[in-house]
């Protein structure tokens, strides 16, 4: 019999140890992990729709602004580090879903003296009833928190993609600006060289050189500033993509897709589509469950179980055992007040974010309307200036116009083109910002590497 009990006891201990977690060291990296080129990036975009297929971008292709945003989601170092937040939320949800362990008590007292004939024994088994009463509310709160974290991570992906798209747009227009400013500086430099030669030969007065010198210096400064801005934009974009700061690739002309509805219609459904607002809503739902759990916790702390014992005269007893707090001084009023105040705070924060989003959208709509008019006006003026420069070139070739006047017409045409470029850059950037503020234009499912069983999809509720 004793051998049988020892065998069963060994089996129970073995099973308990098999279910325990074990420690395994996870050392930190000892070197940076920046990609040396685009080919080293993760370029496979997962399917975002049921029945769709993954798409792999080629390293040597010209990337659209949208593709640059998706590459940033897949490779941004900060997004990779945020996976730990989801792991913590998952662990919290797991902890909340576990039932409390029952408590067991054992006692033994050896017989030393007296009329007794045997040692005394005592055993009890109890369970925390209050934890069972609040169990469902706590689990619901933890699950809502997990959804909130997941939605916030999706919003972080959108923010990274938006930053990458804006930088790609800025770089594209910076390339045009540098091209035009280089042409302008070359024209002024050639004209300045001609004037200096004429002044040296006595054909022109020295005062003719001063305006061109100032114009050439201004053009040179503007060109240097444009190149510096381009370098800064490239370095910021490379950082978002996890690339070495010197990596460059081709970016196509920005094409901003049309909104799938009017701004007013999209604004009315914004809370069900924008991940950050969805995260706040889920966080508020979690707090609602905490308020409910706090109210249920008014039930006094209660442990219920059974007790067995035998005294020294070998009298055996068995019966229920109850341990509970007397709700005289503390009926969890403090906990209830705290959870209710937190709920009011979250409600105010959500309303503030919703109001902020609506104000930003309306402001962007107005700015885009003004920029559209400005672009149309500037484009018309640029066309006129370009035609005038063309006519001036013909007049110069026929000997009816001097070189100085020709350069003035040409630089004026270039300045008009630069003005259009700046306005288009602002317009495209605001249109990209509007799409994000309205919760459209990017995948509704997280793309960054993650546990495939915990994807977040923003759906209308």
Res 461: pLDDT: 38
Which sign does the torsion angle of CA 437, 439, 440, 446 carry?
positive
- pLDDT bin (cut points 50, 70, 90) of residue 241 is very high
DSSP 82: T
Contact 211, 134 (CB under 8 A): no
What pLDDT shows up at residue 21? 67
Tell me, what's the pLDDT at 206? Answer: 61
Q: Quick check: helix, strand or coil at residue 303?
A: strand
Please determine, for residue 63, whether its predicted confidence score (pLDDT) is greater than 90: yes
- Banded model confidence at residue 162, pLDDT cuts 50, 70, 90: very high
pLDDT value for 327: 81
* pLDDT, tens digit (0-9, with 9 covering 90-100), for 325-347: 888 888 888 989 999 999 999 99
Task: Give me 167's structure tokens.
Answer: 């930088």
Q: Is the pLDDT of residue 59 over 80?
A: yes
Mean per-residue pLDDT over the chain, rounded: 87
Q: How confident is the model at residue 85 (pLDDT cuts 50, 70, 90)?
A: confident
Pairing status of strand 316-324 against strand 120-128: unpaired
Contact 240, 164 (CB under 8 A): yes
| pLDDT tens string 335-387 | 899 999 999 999 999 999 999 999 999 999 999 999 999 999 999 999 999 99
Looking at per-residue pLDDT, the higher value among 445 and 230 belongs to: 230
pLDDT of residue 380: 96
Report residue 316 CA to chain centroid gap. 65
Residue 247 tokens, joined: 């990596």
Q: For residues 43 and 369, what is the distance between their CA atoms, to the nearest angstrom?
A: 36
Percent of the chain with pLDDT over 90: 52
With a cut of 80, say whether residue 2 has pLDDT above it: no
Which phi and psi angles does 30 have, rounded to 5°? -110, 0
**Residues above pLDDT 70, as percent of the chain:** 91
Euclidean distance between CA atoms 27 and 25, whole angstroms: 6
Give dist(CA 156, CA 161) in Å, integer.
9
Name which of 77-91, 257-271, 272-286 the model is least confident about: 77-91
With 0-12 CB in 10 A as exposed, 13-18 as middle and 19+ as buried, what is 446?
Answer: buried
d(CA 390, CA 401): 12
CB 72 within 8 A of CB 162: no
CA–CA dist 91, 44 (Å, integer): 29
d(CA 189, CA 212): 8
> What is the CB neighbour count within 10 angstroms for residue 205?
10
The answer to whether residue 184 scores a pLDDT higher than 80 is yes
Task: Give domain 64-110+117-346's CATH architecture.
Answer: Up-down Bundle (1.20)
Return the pLDDT at 370.
97
At residue 417, the pLDDT reads: 94
Confidence of residue 28 (pLDDT cuts 50, 70, 90): confident
- Backbone φ, ψ for residue 455 (5° rounding): -90, 150
Average pLDDT over residues 80-85: 79
Give dist(CA 13, CA 342) in Å, integer.
Answer: 45
């Amino acid at each position: 019999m004793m051998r049988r009990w020892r065998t069963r006891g060994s089996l129970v201990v073995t099973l308990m140890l098999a279910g325990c977690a074990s420690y395994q060291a996870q050392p930190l990296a000892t070197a940076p992990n920046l990609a040396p080129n685009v080919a080293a990036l993760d370029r496979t975009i997962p399917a975002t729709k049921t029945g769709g297929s993954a798409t792999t971008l080629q390293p040597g292709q010209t990337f659209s602004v949208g593709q640059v945003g998706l590459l940033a989601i897949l490779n941004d170092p900060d997004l990779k580090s945020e996976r730990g937040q989801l792991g913590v939320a998952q662990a919290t949800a797991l902890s909340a879903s576990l039932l409390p362990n029952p408590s067991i008590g054992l006692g033994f007292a050896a017989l030393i003296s007296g009329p007794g004939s045997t040692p005394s024994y005592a055993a009890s088994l109890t369970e925390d009833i209050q934890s069972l009463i609040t169990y469902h509310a706590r689990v619901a709160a933890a699950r809502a928190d997990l959804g909130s974290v997941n939605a916030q991570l999706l919003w972080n992906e959108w923010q990274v993609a938006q930053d990458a798209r804006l930088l790609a747009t800025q770089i594209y227009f910076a390339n045009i600006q540098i091209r035009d400013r280089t042409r302008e500086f070359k024209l002024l430099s050639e004209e300045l060289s001609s004037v200096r030669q004429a002044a040296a030969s006595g054909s022109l007065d020295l005062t003719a050189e001063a305006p061109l010198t100032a114009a050439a210096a201004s053009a040179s400064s503007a060109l240097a500033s444009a190149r510096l801005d381009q370098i800064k934009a490239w370095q910021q974009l490379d950082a978002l993509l996890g690339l070495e700061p010197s990596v460059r690739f081709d970016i196509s002309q920005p094409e901003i897709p049309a909104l799938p509805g009017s701004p007013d219609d999209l604004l009315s459904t914004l809370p069900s589509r924008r991940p950050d607002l969805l995260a706040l809503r889920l966080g508020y739902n979690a707090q609602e469950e905490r308020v409910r759990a706090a109210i249920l916790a008014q039930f006094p702390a209660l442990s219920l179980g059974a007790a067995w014992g035998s005294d020294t005269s070998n009298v055996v007893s068995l019966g229920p055992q109850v341990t509970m707090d007397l709700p005289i001084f503390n009926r969890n009023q403090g906990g209830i007040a705290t959870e209710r105040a937190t709920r009011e705070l979250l409600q105010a924060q959500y309303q503030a974010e919703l109001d902020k989003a609506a104000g930003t959208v309306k402001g962007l709509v107005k700015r885009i309307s003004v920029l559209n008019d400005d672009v149309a006006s500037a484009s018309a003026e640029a066309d006129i200036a370009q035609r005038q420069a063309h006519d001036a070139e013909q007049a110069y070739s026929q000997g009816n116009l001097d070189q100085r006047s020709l350069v003035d017409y040409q630089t004026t045409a270039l300045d008009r083109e630069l003005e259009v470029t700046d306005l288009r850059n602002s317009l495209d950037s605001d249109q990209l910002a509007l799409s994000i503020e309205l919760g459209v234009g990017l995948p509704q499912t997280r793309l960054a590497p993650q546990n495939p069983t915990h994807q977040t999809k923003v759906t209308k509720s």
